[in-house]
Amino acid sequence: MPIHPQPVSAEPPLLRRLQTLCRGAELPGLGARLADLADLVAPDMVALEASMPRLRPEASAVERSASHLLDLGGKRLRPMCVALAARLGGGFDERTKQLALAVELVHAATLLHDDVVDVGETRRGAPTARLIFGNAVSIFAGDYLLVDALKRVRQARVDGVLDRLLDVLEEMILAESLQLERRGRLDTTEAQWFSIVEGKTAALFRFGMWAGARAGGADPDQCAVLERFGADLGVAFQAIDDLLDLAGDPDKTGKALFADLREGKLTYPVIVSLERDRGLTAVIEEIVAAETPDPRTCREALERIERTGSLRDGRKLAQMHADRAKRTIEDLPPSRARDALRTVADATIHRPA
Amino acid sequence: MPIHPQPVSAEPPLLRRLQTLCRGAELPGLGARLADLADLVAPDMVALEASMPRLRPEASAVERSASHLLDLGGKRLRPMCVALAARLGGGFDERTKQLALAVELVHAATLLHDDVVDVGETRRGAPTARLIFGNAVSIFAGDYLLVDALKRVRQARVDGVLDRLLDVLEEMILAESLQLERRGRLDTTEAQWFSIVEGKTAALFRFGMWAGARAGGADPDQCAVLERFGADLGVAFQAIDDLLDLAGDPDKTGKALFADLREGKLTYPVIVSLERDRGLTAVIEEIVAAETPDPRTCREALERIERTGSLRDGRKLAQMHADRAKRTIEDLPPSRARDALRTVADATIHRPA
């Protein structure tokens, strides 16, 4: 899709949202740190939005379907990670921007296919592309964005990045496969949850940090450090996502409560709760099986889940991974970008959506 | 998927099938020429089959779904084209084999996604992967094979081939998009048919010939000649495919008559017939709309289609493109591989499936 730069907000949606959250936030000083993060990456994120694929007037259904999702914005957390990793080295340039875009496009491609697979109806607060354009178009739209991402990585010509992305894509697909095989299976273990999350979510964060560092000219040791940061950040991110499925504000997350569970996806707190309260099995089974689960059943499930302490433990798991991510980058030379990555780790834990 | 070589037939299925057809064939001498073609490429095709992705014992659902399709064989026409193009130059080596495999895997990936999109039930004479493993698994299986193909092309490291494949994939996806937009639209034009076929079918033949030539060390002019051969062969192939949907033997094609039409895909003879016999519109509409069309309606449609001369013209179109393909390679230095490519063009026209 040829690029038609459009006016974009100077402030990435993630930061706007996080700043709203952090007024009166639990973590002292996070608001000011977010402002500094925004200040640092705002130009990169503006450049990124301006280079997002835009529609040709005669665009095909597949392109319109892909644009529908991309134009809804989203947090752009993954490309921001690429930008920050690059800023630890030589800074954000055209090549880094293309890698950052590629990471966002791969993410969007997985969302398009996921929404078909999960019969998803709402995404980013709007009807899913598959509802507007149909399942068939959304499948090919995912393929289209994947190829677009690969072309950008190819054209950036940063040594080793394309090979790494292909490996990461394979990991992501095999994790999706495992998730499908575990769908609706209430005997899913924590170990299986980790396998799924490491491939499905953390792999792309890991890749983004590594690729950004590599493009920014970091040495192999630093690239490895940032890769580990990305892996932990990804698990923290997914652990919070899992909590939001049970205790988020649908107006902020853009999706209904228990959406994952109704798609048969066992979230971390649910897996832990089922281990601790055997009686919960029947209640969860009812929610998974129901076309539209009874609100009373959902309330009962939530109360019982809360009583097992699994929501608290889910938050602890996220915190532990965010803390480990921060420790991983402790020994990097001090810089605004390093501080900003710490802020990202903290903000990931305190995000409302 | 790690590779476990398995015993394979020395004779590729295409040749076996074609030789059966050409006993008593309309084209004198084709049988002997096919035997020569078989003799030339059999070792390459055996090597190819031995390197097909094979299942690990603990393979995921996605891998099993992909293998289900690959193990059913198919014609392997596309990888054979890659092998022959390479044999015009330096011959068939490990790199060429990986490119040939990649082309077959891309083709298989599109079939997996197509069968989900078209709600296909039979493929290569067996239930489709989506019926056995589900739509979700088949979507990710297509993604998996696409990534596998790209990894092989990447590892083959033949200059320019990966970039070309990414461009061709984009073309293929946009053609699929156009096909979806025209689905069930009886006002589809011949020009639109060509746009769809050039992207959906011919692009991959074109790529395979070009990549094989490139890997075999052909000069840029020869690569361009073979690319044009592939483009024409692809159109000829699809024109025959379109005829087989109306007049093939379901036992040989592995799919029911009018399958394309019932999926809303307007084949060449149907497009031409609708231009020539306006009264046919209502009959075709009935077939497209029906869950299971009345056999009498199908017979009536077929008779009226035949009466317009569009089946004959469809065959002429295929013949014209096959002839042009053969003329394209006329000036290449004489070789068994060049003769074999001519045989492929002729056999494509006379194939039963």
Q: Is B212 within 8 Å of B194 (Cβ atoms)? A: no
How many Å is the Cα radius of gyration of chain B? 20
Name the nearest CA neighbour of A247 among A256, A257, A239.
A257
Query: pLDDT-derived band of residue B22, with 50, 70 and 90 as boundaries?
Result: low
CB of A113 within 8 Å of a chain B CB? The answer is yes
In this chain, the answer to whether the domains covering A9-157 and A162-339 adopt an identical fold is yes
- Give the CA diameter of chain B: 57
Between B211 and B89, the more confident residue is B211
CB of B311 within 8 Å of a chain A CB? The answer is no
Query: Which pLDDT value is given to residue B328?
Result: 97
Q: Do B147 and A135 touch (CB under 8 A)?
A: no
Burial of B101 (0-12, 13-18, 19+ CB in 10 A): buried
Query: Which pLDDT value is given to residue A26?
Result: 64
* Tokens linked to B286: 């009935």
- Closest-CA distance of chain A to residue B70, Å: 18
**CB contact residues (below 8 A), chain A span 241-270, against chain B:** none
Q: Which helix (H) or strand (E) holds B127?
A: strand B126-127
Query: Which pLDDT value is given to residue A5?
Result: 41
- Closest-CA distance of chain A to residue B151, Å: 7
In CATH terms, the superfamily for domain A9-157 is Farnesyl Diphosphate Synthase (1.10.600.10)
Chosen for mutation from A150, A171, A182 (greatest number of chain B CBs closer than 10 Å) is A150
Portion of chain B with pLDDT greater than 70, in percent: 92
Helix (H, G, I), strand (E, B), or coil: what is residue A341? helix
- Closest-CA distance of chain A to residue B144, Å: 6
Nearest-by-Cβ selection for B60 from A63, A117, A174: A174
* Tokens linked to B261: 């039409």
Query: Which pLDDT value is given to residue B257?
Result: 74
Query: Which pLDDT value is given to residue A21?
Result: 52
pLDDT tens-digit map of B256-271: 778 888 888 999 999 9
Third-level CATH fold of B13-349: Farnesyl Diphosphate Synthase (1.10.600)
CB of B144 within 8 Å of a chain A CB? The answer is yes
The strand pairing partners of B127, in sequence order, are B122
Name the nearest CA neighbour of A205 among A193, A197, A217, A195.
A197
Write down the H helix ranges in A10-134: 13-22, 30-50, 61-71, 77-87, 94-117, 129-133
Q: Measure the CA–CA gap between A269 and B225, rounded to whole angstroms.
A: 61
pTM of the model: 0.91
- Closest-CA distance of chain A to residue B302, Å: 29
Q: How are the residues of chain A apportioned to helix, strand and coil, as percentages rounded to the nearest 5?
A: 70, 0, 25
* Tokens linked to A85: 């990793």
Q: Measure the CA–CA gap between A302 and A295, rounded to whole angstroms.
A: 10
CB of A299 within 8 Å of a chain B CB? The answer is no
* Tokens linked to A16: 């706007």
Position B178 pLDDT exceeds 90:
yes
Q: At what angle do helices B61-71 and B94-117 cross, to 10 degrees?
A: 100
Q: Measure the CA–CA gap between A248 and A237, rounded to whole angstroms.
A: 14
- Closest-CA distance of chain A to residue B57, Å: 15
CB of A92 within 8 Å of a chain B CB? The answer is no
Q: Do A178 and B60 touch (CB under 8 A)?
A: yes
CB of A107 within 8 Å of a chain B CB? The answer is no
Average pLDDT over residues B63-71: 90
The CATH number of A162-339 is: 1.10.600.10
Query: pLDDT-derived band of residue B303, with 50, 70 and 90 as boundaries?
Result: very high
A282 to each of A53, A259, A278, A290, A292, how far by Cα in Å?
46, 18, 9, 12, 16
Query: Which pLDDT value is given to residue B10?
Result: 47
Query: Which pLDDT value is given to residue B14?
Result: 56
Query: Which pLDDT value is given to residue A18?
Result: 56
Domain ranges of chain A: 9-157, 162-339
A216 to each of A87, A104, A333, A340, how far by Cα in Å?
7, 18, 15, 16
For chains A and B, what is the number of CB pairs under 8 angstroms? Answer: 110
Using CA atoms of A249, A255, A260, A264 in order, give the dihedral in degrees to the nearest 10: 140
Q: Do A116 and B137 touch (CB under 8 A)?
A: no
Position B24 pLDDT exceeds 50:
no
Q: Do A154 and B143 touch (CB under 8 A)?
A: no
CB of B176 within 8 Å of a chain A CB? The answer is yes
Q: Do A146 and B150 touch (CB under 8 A)?
A: no
10-residue mean pLDDT profile of chain A (353 residues): values are: 45 58 64 88 91 84 91 87 94 95 96 89 86 91 96 95 97 95 94 97 98 95 97 97 85 76 92 94 90 86 94 97 97 94 92 74
Using CA atoms of A163, A169, A175, A179 in order, give the dihedral in degrees to the nearest 10: 180
Chain center to CA of B315:
17
Which residues of A are less than 8 Å from B178 in CB distance? 60
**With the C-alpha atoms ordered B64, B65, B71, B76, is the resulting torsion angle positive or negative?**
negative
